[in-house]
Chains A and B, each alone.
Chain A
Amino acid sequence: MIERFEDVIIQTLCRFLVPFMQIYALYVIAHGHSSPGGGFQGGCILAASFVLLVIAFDLKEAKRRMTEKLNTIFTSLGVFIYAGTGWVCLILGGNFLDYSKLSKILPVDSVHARYHGMLYIEIGVGIGVMACMISIFLNLVTRGRHEEALEDKDLWNT
């Protein structure tokens, strides 16, 4: 499945398609609090663009763009942004994820602080979901043996 093959049509199409998918995913994340969509859906579309990259090219190319270390950092960063926003609200005197208390550190009133707080949550969820979905897909496709899969060609040519 991940065997490298040179197909001009598929590779050119994916080269054109991936940026538009990622722009659309960022749109879905950024407009999640005022229209359908949100962090989870946008993160899934971001992960789907990466899955398309793995299928059209090979695993080595995909690993060059998103290394295992970067993926782990992104997973932790998403959870950190989500929980960090909640804890900042807690420190400022409200409940966990009580966005209206963010008006004490943001230059807006409490209604707009609630509106912006939702956006921070969505960004955190989007990053976390994207990294987790990529991690699940890479583990499935290499049977959990990343380094051997990069060296041993026979592992995924079967």
Chain B
Amino acid sequence: MIWQLDLMLLTFVTICAIAAITVKDLLSAVVLLGAFSFFMCLLWNEMGSVDVAFTEAAVGAGVSTAFFVAAVYNMTRRTKD
């Protein structure tokens, strides 16, 4: 474990999470959520949990992003609130 790399990845995760809930465009929120999943995957990989990181890469960054894009295309692009 390298604590500098840990801190950098944690900063990216926090930035992506805060940006994903504040942005108004839903498609941008989906892309930011995919980036959040990817940084979470890197963080888990760095902490030595390869199996969890692999699951996050396959499910979080891969399939669920496609699900969210499919859901966004069937509704309005921007949030009301």
User: A residues engaging B (CB < 8 A)?
Assistant: 1, 36-38, 40-41, 44-45, 47-48, 51, 55, 133, 136-137, 140-141, 143, 156
CA distance A55 to B54 in the complex (A): 24
Q: Which residues of the partner chain B approach A136 to less than 8 Å between Cβ atoms? A: 67
| Contact B54 A37, beta carbon cutoff 8 Å | yes
Closest 8 pairs between A and B when the two form their complex, measured CB to CB: A44-B58, A140-B70, A36-B50, A141-B70, A41-B58, A36-B51, A1-B73, A51-B66
B63 within 8 A of A: yes
Other-chain residue from A41, A48, A133, A141 in contact with B54 (beta carbon distance below 8 A): A41
- Which residues of A lie under 8 Å from residue B55 when comparing CB positions? 40-41
- The interface bits of chain B over 65-81 (1 if a CB of A lies within 8 angstroms of the residue's CB, else 0) are 01101110110000000
A140 to B73, CA, bound (A): 10
Q: In the complex, what distance in Å separates the CA atom of A156 from the CA atom of B54?
A: 33
CB distance from A125 to the nearest CB of B (A): 13
Would B71 and A48 count as touching, CB distance under 8 A?
no
B47 within 8 A of A: no
Q: Can you name 30 A-B pairs with beta carbons within 8 Å? A: A1-B69, A1-B70, A36-B50, A36-B54, A37-B51, A37-B54, A38-B51, A40-B55, A40-B58, A41-B54, A41-B55, A41-B58, A41-B59, A44-B58, A44-B62, A44-B63, A45-B58, A45-B62, A48-B58, A48-B63, A51-B66, A137-B63, A137-B66, A137-B70, A140-B67, A140-B70, A141-B73, A141-B74, A143-B74, A156-B73
